[in-house]
Structures are given as C-alpha cells and as structure tokens.
Chain A
Amino acid sequence: MMAGRRDRAKSLVTGPEPGPETSTDASGPRRSSLLEVSDLRIQFSTDDGVVKAVDGVSFTVDRGRTLGIVGESGSGKSVTSLGIMGLHSGGNARISGKIWLDGEELVDASPTRVRQLRGSKMAMIFQDPLSALHPYYTVGYQIAEAYLIHNKVGKKAARAHAIEMLERVGIPNPQARVDDYPHQFSGGMRQRTMIAMALSCDPELLIADEPTTALDVTVQAQILDLISELQEEFHSAVIIITHDLGVVAELADDIMVMYAGKMAEYGTSEDIFNRPGHPYAWGLLGSMPRLDQARTDRLIPIPGTPPSLINVPSGCPFHPRCSYAATTNGRCVSEVPLPRSVGLDHEVACHLSIDEQRQNWADLVAQAAPAASHGEDT
C-alpha cells in the first residue's frame, strides 16, 4: 500500500479509524510531492457533539500542479485547507494525521514553526477580500507587513516590494494606489491585493479558498487567469477550493471531490469530467450548466441536503441521497466505502463496481444529451 504512494496522484486509502500504520509515514520526506496530506482528521467539539469536519483525507500536490477540491458547503473542503495552514484552531479543534510540506511534517510541528512557514512557504487567499483585508491599513502596508515579517529588509524595501507586487497582479498605477485603503478598491482589485499579499514571499504552496465566489462574473475569469499565470511564473503548487465546477474545469489538473469530510473521488480533471465514478460526482456534474450542451437539457439537482457532520449517516455518508444505494444489497448503509483505484491516478470511494460505475455514467450521459455526444470515450 505504501509503495504505491510514491506516485503523485495516488492518494492514501482512508479508513474509519486512524491507522496505526503511520510508522511508515514517519519515514520522512517524499521526493516528488511538495505537499502530502495523509489521513487528515479535524474534529471540533461543540455543545451538540463532535463535528467531524475532516474525516481521514489524503492527497498530494506537486510543484506546478493545481489541485481542485470540490464539494458542497460543509463538505470539509475549507477546513482541510485551514488545517494545512494551521489556522483551524478555535481552541476546541483536534487534528490528527500527517501533513508534509516539502518534507517537513506540520501536524506535530511547533506552532511557532508553522507560523514561520505561513505566509512564506505556504500562503492562502480567502473568499471575501473586503472582509479579509484590514479596513484601517493601506493595501501597501498590508502587503509589506507579510514581506517584512519573513524577510530581513527595511520598511522602504518592503514598500517597494509591495508596489512591485501590486504591479505584478495588474493594479494600474501601483505607486499611487499603494497608499489606498481597501475600501477605495473595487472587488476585483481587492482580490488582486490578496493575491499580491499571498505571493509576496514567493510561497511554494498557494491555497485559494473560493477565490472568485464573492466577485462579479466578469472579474472571476480575470482572477482565475491571474492565478494560473502567476502559478506558472512562480512554479508553485496550488490548491483551489470551490463549489463551482467551472472554476476547477478552468484551473485544476487534479480534482478531489469531497463529501461529508471524506474523499468521494480523486482523479485528473479529465477523469472527473469525462469518467466520473462516484454518484455524487455525477450529481455535481448534472447540476452544472454547460455551454456545450443544448439548452433544453434540464439541470438535475442532487436531492436532499448535505448531512450533519455530527451524526454522519452510517456506511457511505452519501447513501441517503444516492439513487444507486439500493443496488448494493445494503452495503452502502452498513459499510464505509474505501477509495478504490479505478484507473491510473483515479480513485473512487463507492461500493458500485467499476463496470457498474461506467455503465451508469454512460446511461446518464445518454439520457441527458441523446443527440449530442461531446467526445467522451465512455
């Protein structure tokens, strides 16, 4: 099992209990991957019970690659990213598993060490740039602050760097705008500022948590272009978290579909869009409008709502909403499906056999667009 993990896209098998086999995990740095997350679990104890926000998730991201994490609200995708940054703590949070960033383990590292890595080696962009920027400080100050803390430079150099970063993210007239306050910027410019701030120390890992959700549609594409442009320039690894499949379609090389804190499916972008194996992924794709299909096609919503993370349904957490759950002789209700390899770099956590998965997806595609096939090889 461990031998296969040297492969970039090979994510770890997850189980219901934290594996005692982590002795192999402690073996140290991986050569290939910048970020490797293994059996990550993050729980919050609340008055109502323990919330299992992230429940045994494993994945890897390489330099120069983009991983898209997709899921509905409450699927644990944001908490996963905050956990990597060490920002999940609210005092009552418990984290276990392993996170290696460039060979350095973060879960057991001292908070000081994680803090030093934050902003320098890994950085994060948040959803709403207006509330994520401090209203009382100029954008230049806020960018320079990140640079000053991680580099031994003077204030002047930091300011010059802030101007340079603003220019790089496409803020016009950066020498003048550097002294503006966030409220004087437009939504798109604020998100550009956030990106400038995140990239100011040349991080190797950039996490973008719903970076375009709060923006106008016209600005969204610009921001996405900017992220992928800068990724090429800095050759960093990017994790993009979104509920918008259009965003991952544009940016991601690999996609992880999350449901109820667990990984449902993992594969290359092509796998997920053309050969999805998990009924939840089918649901997500079916509820996404596509320009390349006739408009008469109806969007098919996924019935029901995401489950409570305190009382997660038994077996496969998706089974109450899954129309195929009845076909597995009750295994979906009683047994947690483990991620299974269904192709090169492609894993699905579902009890349906590979043939059933392929057949069902082919049927769905045929139903949705009887006349037009868009070149899938299913």
Chain B
Amino acid sequence: MIAFLIRRLLATIVLLIVVSAITFGIFFLLPRLAGQTTYGLATQYVGRNPTPATIHQIEQQLGLNAPVIEQYGRFLRAIVFGEHYRSGPVVAYCPPPCFGYSFKSELPVWPQMVSDMPVTASLAIGAAALWLIGGVAVGILSALRRGSIWDRLSMGVALAGVSLPPFFTGLIALELFSYKWSIFPNVQYVGITQNPLLWAKNLVLPWTVLAFLYAALYARLTRSGMLETMTEDYIRTARAKGLPERTVIIRHALRAVLTPIITIFGMDLGLLLGGAILIEYTFSLHGLGLFTIEAINNQDLPEILGVTMLAAFFIVFANLIVDILYSVADPRVRT
C-alpha cells in the first residue's frame, strides 16, 4: 500500500510537470510559432500607449527574448519558489506560487485566486454531496423497481437534467424561488465563518441547479450498474446465505456499483470549475468561475495562466485521490 502511494505520488508530480510544460507552451511558445514576436508579447505586459523603449525594457526585464527553455525554467521557479520583480529601484517579491501580476489590477494573481476560492469550494462541495447522495439513491430505487412509474419518471427527469443547460435551469430557479416566491431572496455569497445559516440558505439554489446537472448522470450510472450487478453470481451467494434483501442490496450490490461511481465522481469534482463558471455567472457569485471569465475578457495573461494551472492541478490531484480511493475500494487493484 505504501509503495503504491509513493508510486502514484511520483507519477502525479511528473504529470504536473508535463501539464505545466504544455500550459507554458500554449501561452508562450504557440504565439511565437504563429509569428508573434517577443516585442509583440511584451506589448501585452505594458500599459496603454507605451513607447517602444518601454516595451524593449519590459522585454528584457521579463526575459521574453531569452531561450524558451530558460523562460520555462523561470516560469517553474516562480511557481515553486516565488520571484523578485524589479521595476526601477523597487523590488517586488511575489511569493510562491507566483503566476505574476495581473495586467489589470496590477496585483499578484495567486492571492486573488485564493480569495475567490471559498466561493467555488462551497459551491462545489455542497453540490457534489447533493448529487452523489441524490443520484445514487434515485438510481438504486429505479433499479429495484425497474419498469415502475417511479423508474420511468425519475429516468425522464434524469434525461431532462442531463439535457438542460444550468444557465437555463438556473434562471428558471432564480425567477421562481428568488423573485416570484422570495423563498431564497437576494442570493449572494456570505462567508461560512460569518453566518453559516445564511451561507447555506443562499447556496441552496446554486447547489440544486448544479447538482441537478450531475445527479441525473449518477442516477443513470447507478441504475444500470445495479441492474447489472444484481444478476452477478455473488449476489445469488449472498441470498443463499440467508442475508436480508436490504443487506444484499447495500452491502453486496451497492458496494460493487460504487467503485466505478467513485472514479467518475473524483474526475467530475476535478473538472467542476467548468460547471462552476456557468453557475457563478448565473447567480453572480464571485468565485473562480467569474474570475476566469473576467480574466479571459480582459485578456489578462497571468490570470488566465494561473487559473489554467490551478484547474490542471485540481484534475491531476483528483486523479490521485481517485486512484487511492479505488485501491481502498477494490482489493484487486492493490496487489
């Protein structure tokens, strides 16, 4: 088990380095290959109406005309160890993980992302818990009452959940529950440490809308998994032992079905930033999703770079967690 963990951890580090190389390539190498000069790149980093001299100075300062390998080395070093930026006599220290300074706000990128993180994390964790529990429960019930009205109804709703985009369901939910009936008025993010009750209340709608999108998928996965597993020989063995049907279903069938679901769940959590963008935009919650949209709109290269790296890190990390969980869940993977 320890050897397995170390092996997976090393693989994760290698994967992260590869991801950083690709990200760096996209933002620094690709423009050059497409004919962009270092002068042109430097133009993006300076303010409005710069003189050519300033641009050249920035070009030197940021080392944009240095060999690509050296630039990549500096990029990595900044992330791991931080970076000192010199602007005339002033030396600004950007602590690790340093993704540089935002073009627009001229603040270091990382602290801004950190301040937006609780919003996205609250949204993601709440919605994930909701869709995992709800989806799996609906899936089990559907499988056990296959062909019943409940089964057809819930699978129909599931189809709707997969098909309807969250900005649509989100707007409907806002219109009905927030404006028309005022059950959840004035949805905005309140820190969990400030007012846990209001935090939860304000997040109910975003959670539900986001969970609805995923729960449908999990209900279908659980249902088909259960239907398949219930025909397995070991289920017959469990019944032959005289176990109550509930034990057979939960301890024997669900146990086997959950393993692939955990895998998908981990990956979905890692990828959740994409879903969060739509939800945050719809509900005007200022998390990493809105941060990303603003960065893209402003063509704020360091911010985009930061978000990309963070998202990549989450996915790789989620992969690691999934692998570990999988080895806990399935003893055959361990040896």
Q: Name the segment of A19-27, A142-150, A312-320, A323-331 touching the other chain.
A: A142-150
- A124-160 residues with Cβ-Cβ distance < 8 A to B are 124, 126, 128, 131-138, 145-146, 149-150
Within 8 A of A (CB), among B223-262: 232-234, 236-245, 247, 252, 255-256, 259
Asked if B233 and A115 make an inter-chain contact with CB atoms under 8 angstroms apart, the answer reads: no
Give Cα A123–Cα B335 distance, bound, in whole angstroms. Answer: 32
A132-B237 contact given A181-B331, A183-B331, A183-B332, CB 8 Å threshold: yes
Does A287 have its Cβ within 8 Å of any Cβ on chain B?
no
Establish whether residues A145 and B241, one from each chain, have CB atoms under 8 Å apart when the complex forms.
yes
CB of A116 within 8 Å of the partner chain: yes
CB <8 Å contact, A119 and B242 = yes
List chain A residues, Cβ under 8 A from B241: 118-119, 123, 145-146, 149, 197
In the assembled complex, B70 has its CB within 8 A of some CB on chain A = no
Within 8 A of A (CB), among B163-193: none
How would residues 184 to 228 of chain A score, 1 for a CB under 8 Å from any chain B CB and 0 otherwise? 100000000010011000000000000000000000000000000
For residue A120, CB closer than 8 A to chain B, the reply is: yes
Complex contact B242–A136 (CB within 8 A): no
- From the candidates A133, A138, A145, A184, name the one contacting B243 in the complex (CB within 8 A): A145
Band of interface residues on B = 20 to 34
Closest chain A residue, CB of each to CB of B256: A136
Instruction: Check if B234 sits within 8 Å of A181, measured CB to CB.
Output: no
B239 cross-chain contacts in A, Cβ below 8 A: 87, 115, 118
Which chain A residues border B247 with CB–CB below 8 Å?
Answer: 149
A126 to B239, CA, bound (A): 12
In the complex, are the beta carbons of B244 and A135 less than 8 A apart?
A: no
Determine the distance from Cα of A115 to Cα of B331 in the docked complex, in whole angstroms. Answer: 29
Assuming A135-B330, A136-B331, A183-B331, is B242 touching A115 (CB within 8 A)? yes
B329 in the interface (beta carbon within 8 A): yes
Which one, A124, A131, A137, contacts B240 given CB within 8 A? Answer: A124
Complex Cα spacing A134 to B329, Å: 13
* Least Cβ–Cβ distance between B231 and chain A, in angstroms: 9
Q: Which of B233, B234, B240, B256 has the most CB of A within 10 A?
A: B240
The smallest C-beta distance from A181 to any residue of chain B, in angstroms, reads: 4
From B232, B242, B255, B335, contact of A131 by CB (8 A): B232
State whether B240 touches A123 (Cβ < 8 A).
yes
Number of A positions contacting B (CB below 8 A): 30
A138 proximity list for chain B (CB < 8 A): 331
Q: Using CB atoms, name the residue of chain A closest to B330.
A: A136
The CA of A180 and the CA of B252, in the complex, are separated in Å by 17
Contacts of A123 in B (CB 8 A): 240-241
Report how far A133 CA is from B244 CA in the complex, Å: 17
Does A117 touch B at the CB level, under 8 Å? yes
A87 touching B236, Cβ below 8 Å:
yes
A85 close to B (CB within 8 Å): yes
Contacts of A137 in B (CB 8 A): 255
Residue of B nearest to A124 (CB): B240
Asked if B331 contacts A118 (CB within 8 A), the reply is no
Residues of chain B within 8 A (CB-CB) of A116 are 242
Contact present for A134 and B331 (CB under 8 Å): no
Report A-chain residues with C-beta under 8 Å of the C-beta of B244.
Answer: 115, 149
Please name all residues of chain A whose beta carbon is closer than 8 Å to the beta carbon of B237 when the two chains form the complex.
126, 132-134, 194, 197
CA distance A370 to B271 in the complex (A): 78
Distance in Å from the Cβ of A220 to the closest Cβ of chain B? 19
- The chain B residue sitting closest to A197, CB to CB, is B241
- Proximity bits, B57-77, A CB within 8 Å = 1, else 0: 000000000000000000000
Tell me, in angstroms, the Cα distance from A76 to B259 when the chains sit together.
36
* Nearest neighbor of B245 in chain A, beta-carbon distance: A115
Mark interface residues in B86-99 (1 if CB within 8 Å of A CB, else 0).
00000000000000
Q: Contact between B252 and A120 (Cβ–Cβ < 8 Å)? A: no
Bound-state CA distance A88–B237 (Å) is 13
User: Could you tell me if B240 and A118 are in contact, using CB atoms closer than 8 angstroms?
Assistant: yes
Docked pose: A133 CA to B256 CA in angstroms: 12
Asked if B242 and A150 make an inter-chain contact with CB atoms under 8 angstroms apart, the answer reads yes
The residue that A135 contacts in the complex, of B236, B245, B256, with Cβ under 8 A, is: B256
Chain A residue at minimum C-beta to C-beta distance from B253: A134
Task: Identify the interface centre among A118, A128, A138: most chain B CB within 10 Å of its CB.
Answer: A118
**Best-buried of A131, A132, A149, A197 by chain B (most CB within 10 Å):** A132
* A128 and B242 contacting across the interface, CB-CB below 8 Å: no
Q: Which residues of B contact A124 (CB under 8 A)?
A: 240
Q: A117 touching B242 by the CB < 8 A rule?
A: yes
Q: Evaluate contact between A128 and B233: CB separation under 8 angstroms.
A: yes
- Report chain A residues within 8 Å CB of B233: 126, 128, 131-132
Contact A149 B234 (CB under 8 A): no
State in angstroms the CA–CA spacing of A183 and B241 once bound together: 20
Task: Encode B315-335 as 1/0 by CB contact (under 8 A) with A.
Answer: 000000000000001111001
Q: Kindly provide the distance from the CB of A205 to the nearest chain B CB, expressed in whole angstroms.
A: 12
Closest to A90 in B: B231
Contact B242 A134 (CB under 8 A): no
- Cα–Cα distance between A145 and B251 once the two chains are bound (Å): 11
A134 adjacent to B234 (CB under 8 Å): yes
Asked if A120 contacts B242 (CB within 8 A), the reply is yes
Q: Which 9 A-B pairs have the closest CB atoms?
A: A119-B242, A118-B242, A131-B233, A146-B241, A119-B241, A134-B234, A181-B331, A132-B233, A124-B240
- 21 residue pairs from A and B, CB less than 8 Å apart: A85-B240, A87-B239, A115-B239, A115-B243, A116-B242, A119-B241, A123-B241, A131-B234, A132-B237, A133-B237, A134-B234, A134-B237, A134-B238, A134-B256, A135-B234, A137-B255, A146-B241, A146-B242, A149-B243, A181-B331, A183-B331
